[in-house]
Chain A
Amino acid sequence: MEIIKNIPLFTIVLSLFSGVLCFMLKGKAAKRYTVCYEGVLIILVSLVLYYTLRTRSSFTYVMGEFPAPWGNEIRAGVLEALIALAFLIIMFSSVIGGYRFILTDMDESKVNLYYTLVNLMTAALMALVWTNDIFTGYVFLEILTLTSCGILIVREIGRTTLAAVRYMILNLLGSGLFLLGVVLLYDLTGHLLMVPMQQTITELARDPKIVPVLTMAIGIITIGLCIKSGLFPFHFWMPDTYGWASPTSAAILSSLVSKAYIFLLIKIYYRVVGSWVMQAMPIRDILFVLGIGGIIIGSVQAMHANNLNRMVAFSSAAQVGYIFMGLGLGGHYGYTAAIFHILAHAVTKSMLFLTTPRLAAVSDESLLFSNLQGSGLRDRHAGIFFTVGALSMIGIPVFAGFSSKIQFGIAAISTHSDWRMIIVMLALAVSSMLNALYFIRFIIRIYTQKDENDRTVPMGRKSVPSYLVSMGLLTAGNLMLGLFSGVIVNLIRQGLGMFG
């Protein structure tokens, strides 16, 4: 057995260990250690991606001496490796780009605890991506929930705590529903590993007495994960959570945590339920409708917001809507578009959330629109990177957002029903227009000076190299998704082919 096959296990165990180690270290050392080990993980996971591409097959890894239906298992294919790699790169960029913000938001004696949580979160993300067992999924989902609440409360001001409490309650509701669904599925099938579970479910789906129960179980799981990832109408926690979190946390929460839940859902649809059974269920149509609703409502609410972070957060709700619209379209093309958009949105959103606090820093620490006038001129780096992110969100060619909208268009054309195609096209057109409206109004605002001689507000600090590296990485990722979308789409298709 090749040594590369051990890497998925290694990423999880090393991340858990790193979390515990950072508990021992001092703040600065913890940050340095976290950066180093995440760099190592990125290299290792790219090796896995290379290996799965070369062998053109996926592999399962038995956790311990007991094989498939009895012991735990993890699995790695092209798709898992790709998503894990993207998550790690974004985590890496958020950590190195957000260090300054952590220092201002937290007391120095607690900084190491932040990195402890970040490392445990990395472990949970890796486990959710690699897992081949639905209950392992639940356990690490719990760790993800707890750590995300933890990195949210670090700011210790009233509004953040309030937002964190609300976020925690909704997340626990989501976890509870997910667990209920898993229990129902276990009761029906007697298995927890994905492969035997799917075989049993395929058999059971022929029995008309069982079908309603099966639909319920999968429906509950879907609702749970929708609440956690913020699909309309469960998106009301988003603006408060992202708006009041420490910038690094907002970047991580919006681009990684909510996406990990969606990836788990895709995994369950493909590997537990199976596309054949899934086709027959009404869940797809509901997701489609809610996705479209999220796109429109999220964009409209973003237009009404007059606080920058809230606007970006509402636009997140719209983007989650896109992803679920892809799942609702179904089929290979729909899922490809959804997964592509997971990557595109993750890259873009983390960038936006890491630039907004710098714009606020040169505008009297205020995120209100009226105060942000000309902030792009006062802090040029932040202005440029914000513009890149905003253009990508709108869907200007060259950037990632454009390619993902094309993918949704392709998915819509390749469905067999005409009305779906029309609705998707309309939604894409309307939401692109709305996106352009609210982002361009903001870009104009940050690049226009109210009064040429107004020099009362200080210029921005110089960017530290680590911030530029982080933003450079994210911009490069954005451009890569935009310019070489064909390569990525190809990878996703291959991965989905191995998935089923």
Chain B
Amino acid sequence: MKNKFLRWLDGDVDLMEHVLDTAEVPDHTRDEIKTREEEEEKLLIERYRELGQKSFYTVYHVVAIISCVLLIGVLLFTVARLPEYGHENPRTVEVVSRYVEKGLEETGAINIVSGMILDYRAFDTLGESHVLFTALICVMILLRIDKKNMRTDYEDYYTIKQDAYFDTSQDTIMRKVGMVLMPCIFLFGIYVLLNGQNSPGGGFSGGAIMGAALILFTASFGFEKVDEFFTLKLSVVITFVSLAFYSFAKGYVFFTGANGLENGIPKGIPGAILSGGLILPLDIAVGLVVACTMFGFYSLFKRGSIGGA
């Protein structure tokens, strides 16, 4: 029996971590994983019993509940002490009043929200439009089928049967309804997209509606029909062109604005489709990205690829 210090020096310290460290889930077939997981679970349960982990979980739940209740209490206390609504001092309404009073004149947009997010605070929205793109990339890394995460053993009898059961594209009712609804939804999406500067709507909402229309189309006619016109390459190109346009257009406006130059973008007549300066083109760019992303999510979750590639 070596003494304790020497054992520590050799890295033989045997605490909980050791079990957790070696509990790696390897890249093997399902059965192997299953038996291995079962073994590890047994091992872990034994370990937990040894170290009295059961009581740990009781304590864990109690502490979780107490901290949640505390947080709720503190937040309610805070909200109760906020200044009353309507009781404003002139400093706190300085920003808002300018948005409301001069928004139309300065941005050319009837929809003040559009004017705010795409003109006054356009830099935030530049970031926000890339958030969705980032999410798409994360989902692609996780779900797109490649050599590493392809599991051939999933192609078993039950999976195929299940897939056929959930495949709606053979359903007559679905097809007929989809045929009627899809163009209407798509048109409505375009309408919302193009009227972002004049009425509630804009890039994000319009794009979401268009994406939903594409998803409905896929659900009623199957991926084969969509793959004919919507490929991975097209989706990549649309996303690239839209976001690059967004970055450069806004970069140009920031640059001219900060350097005191004229940007030469006409504001147009408020209320017309072509008004609000850059708001309309930016809305279209965002809308295209959102539509591609929505459909991309659906496609990745459903079959692990976009456009069959």
Q: Are A6 and B259 in contact (CB-based, < 8 A)?
A: yes
A70 to B124, CA, bound (A): 13
B15, B74, B257: which contacts A62 (Cβ < 8 A)? B257
A9, A143, A187, A213: which contacts B251 (Cβ < 8 A)? A9
Q: Are B255 and A6 in contact (CB-based, < 8 A)?
A: yes
B130, B144, B243: which contacts A110 (Cβ < 8 A)? B144
Q: Are A189 and B92 in contact (CB-based, < 8 A)?
A: yes
Q: Are B121 and A71 in contact (CB-based, < 8 A)?
A: yes
Complex interface bits, A226-246 against B, C-beta within 8 A gives 1, otherwise 0: 000000000000010000000
Q: Are B95 and A135 in contact (CB-based, < 8 A)?
A: no
A330 to B199, CA, bound (A): 50
Q: Are A158 and B127 in contact (CB-based, < 8 A)?
A: no
Chain A min CB distance to B298 (Å): 19
Surface stretch bound by B, among A17-25, A258-266, A351-359 = A17-25
Q: Do A368 and B263 form a contact, CB below 8 Å, given A21-B244, A113-B140, A189-B92?
A: no
Q: Are A24 and B236 in contact (CB-based, < 8 A)?
A: yes
Most chain B CB within a 10 A radius of its CB, from A70, A113, A149, A441: A70
Chain B contact residues: helix, strand, loop or mixed: helix
Q: Are A23 and B236 in contact (CB-based, < 8 A)?
A: yes
* Identity of the chain B residue whose Cβ is nearest the Cβ of A155 in the assembled complex: B148
Surface stretch bound by B, among A303-311, A391-399, A416-424 = A303-311
B77 contact set on A, CB distance < 8 A:
212, 216
From residue 369 to 383 of chain A, which have CB atoms closer than 8 A to chain B?
369-370
Complex interface bits, B84-97 against A, C-beta within 8 A gives 1, otherwise 0: 00001001111110
From residue 1 to 42 of chain B, which have CB atoms closer than 8 A to chain A?
8-15, 17-18, 21, 23-27
Q: Are A190 and B78 in contact (CB-based, < 8 A)?
A: no
B91, B95, B135: which contacts A203 (Cβ < 8 A)? B91
* Identity of the chain A residue whose Cβ is nearest the Cβ of B80 in the assembled complex: A213
B124, B135, B146, B243: which contacts A139 (Cβ < 8 A)? B124
Q: Are B13 and A70 in contact (CB-based, < 8 A)?
A: no
Q: Do A143 and B122 form a contact, CB below 8 Å, given A6-B258, A21-B240, A209-B81?
A: no
Asked if A322 is an interface residue, CB under 8 A from chain B, the answer is no
* Identity of the chain B residue whose Cβ is nearest the Cβ of A9 in the assembled complex: B254
Q: Are B148 and A107 in contact (CB-based, < 8 A)?
A: yes
A106, A117, A139: which contacts B128 (Cβ < 8 A)? A139
Asked if B195 is an interface residue, CB under 8 A from chain A, the answer is no
From residue 128 to 151 of chain A, which have CB atoms closer than 8 A to chain B?
133, 135-136, 139-140, 142-143, 146-147, 149-150
Asked if A271 is an interface residue, CB under 8 A from chain B, the answer is no
B122, B244, B255: which contacts A9 (Cβ < 8 A)? B255
A117 contact set on B, CB distance < 8 A:
134, 137-138, 141
Q: Are A213 and B138 in contact (CB-based, < 8 A)?
A: no
Q: Do A370 and B10 form a contact, CB below 8 Å, given A64-B254, A72-B121, A107-B147?
A: yes
Q: Are A310 and B21 in contact (CB-based, < 8 A)?
A: yes
Chain A min CB distance to B237 (Å): 8
Asked if B57 is an interface residue, CB under 8 A from chain A, the answer is no
B138 contact set on A, CB distance < 8 A:
117, 146, 149-150, 153
Q: Are A120 and B130 in contact (CB-based, < 8 A)?
A: yes
Chain A min CB distance to B171 (Å): 34
Asked if B248 is an interface residue, CB under 8 A from chain A, the answer is yes
A124, A136, A158: which contacts B25 (Cβ < 8 A)? A158
B10, B127, B146: which contacts A143 (Cβ < 8 A)? B127
A332 to B127, CA, bound (A): 33
Q: Are B99 and A72 in contact (CB-based, < 8 A)?
A: no
Chain A min CB distance to B36 (Å): 10
A123 to B142, CA, bound (A): 22
Q: Are B11 and A70 in contact (CB-based, < 8 A)?
A: no
Q: Are B124 and A135 in contact (CB-based, < 8 A)?
A: yes
Chain B min CB distance to A232 (Å): 16
Q: Are A136 and B134 in contact (CB-based, < 8 A)?
A: no
A74, A114, A307: which contacts B17 (Cβ < 8 A)? A307
Q: Do A212 and B95 form a contact, CB below 8 Å, given A9-B258, A62-B257, A117-B137?
A: no
A212 to B83, CA, bound (A): 12
A304 to B7, CA, bound (A): 11
Complex interface bits, A181-219 against B, C-beta within 8 A gives 1, otherwise 0: 000100111111000100110010000011011001100
Q: Do A120 and B11 form a contact, CB below 8 Å, given A63-B122, A139-B124, A157-B24?
A: no
* Identity of the chain B residue whose Cβ is nearest the Cβ of A438 in the assembled complex: B8
Asked if A159 is an interface residue, CB under 8 A from chain B, the answer is yes
Most chain B CB within a 10 A radius of its CB, from A210, A306, A370: A306
B94 contact set on A, CB distance < 8 A:
69, 190-191, 196
A142 contact set on B, CB distance < 8 A:
127, 131
Chain B min CB distance to A214 (Å): 10
Chain B min CB distance to A248 (Å): 14
The 5 A-B residue pairs with the shortest CB-CB distance in the complex, in nearest-first order: A369-B11, A158-B25, A190-B92, A107-B146, A72-B123
Q: Interface residues, chain A, CB within 8 Å of chain B?
A: 1, 5-6, 9-10, 13, 16-17, 19-21, 23-24, 61-66, 69-72, 74, 106-107, 109-110, 113-114, 116-117, 120, 123-124, 127, 133, 135-136, 139-140, 142-143, 146-147, 149-150, 153-154, 156-159, 161, 180, 184, 187-192, 196, 199-200, 203, 209-210, 212-213, 216-217, 239, 303-307, 310, 368-370, 441, 444-445
11 residue pairs of the A-B complex, CB under 8 angstroms, read A23-B239, A64-B119, A66-B106, A153-B138, A157-B24, A190-B88, A190-B91, A213-B81, A239-B17, A445-B9, A445-B11
Q: Interface residues, chain B, CB within 8 Å of chain A?
A: 8-15, 17-18, 21, 23-27, 74-75, 77-78, 81-83, 88, 91-96, 98-99, 106, 119-124, 126-128, 130-131, 133-135, 137-138, 140-142, 144, 146-149, 236-237, 239-240, 243-244, 247-248, 250-251, 253-260, 263
Beyond the given A20-B133, A136-B123, A370-B12, please list 9 additional residue pairs across the A-B interface where CB-CB is below 8 A: A17-B247, A63-B122, A65-B263, A66-B119, A142-B127, A150-B137, A190-B88, A196-B94, A306-B12
